[in-house]
Amino acid sequence: MVLNNEICTTKQIVERKKLQTVELQLSIDQMLKGASTNVLAYNQICIAAANLLFRISRKSTISQPLTKNPIKNMDVVANFITDLAYIHKAYNKKEP
């Protein structure tokens, strides 16, 4: 009888551990999904910045120092776009 009780208790412990394992795996999966979403968004921003910088460097005659960090290169992109906006406004003011 004691042996049966020990077997039953051990089975219950095993079942609890299995349930805890499943819960932990779900938690890990959710954390990985959130992290991968953040990494994807960051990489999309970096690729967009690199693409804009490449296009600007082909069109602009002003040489700009580039850095390894594509996010820091966004200053070059922002300055170029700001310059284009001012040129556009000035051009529209001149037109009758």
Distance in angstroms (rounded) separating the CA atoms of residues 69 and 75: 11
Map residue 96 onto helix, strand or coil: coil
CA distance linking residue 77 with residue 60, whole number of Å: 11
Between CA 55 and CA 65 the distance in angstroms is 15
Q: 0.95 cut: is pTM over it?
A: no
Q: Please report, for the chain, the start and end positions of each structural domain, with discontinuous segments joined by +.
A: 2-94
Condensed to tens digits (0 to 9), the pLDDT of residues 9-45 reads: 999 999 999 999 999 999 999 999 999 999 998 888 7
Inform me whether the pLDDT recorded for 8 exceeds 80.
yes
DSSP three-state, residue 93: helix
Q: Cα(91)–Cα(29) distance, rounded to whole angstroms?
A: 54
Q: What is the DSSP letter of 39?
A: H
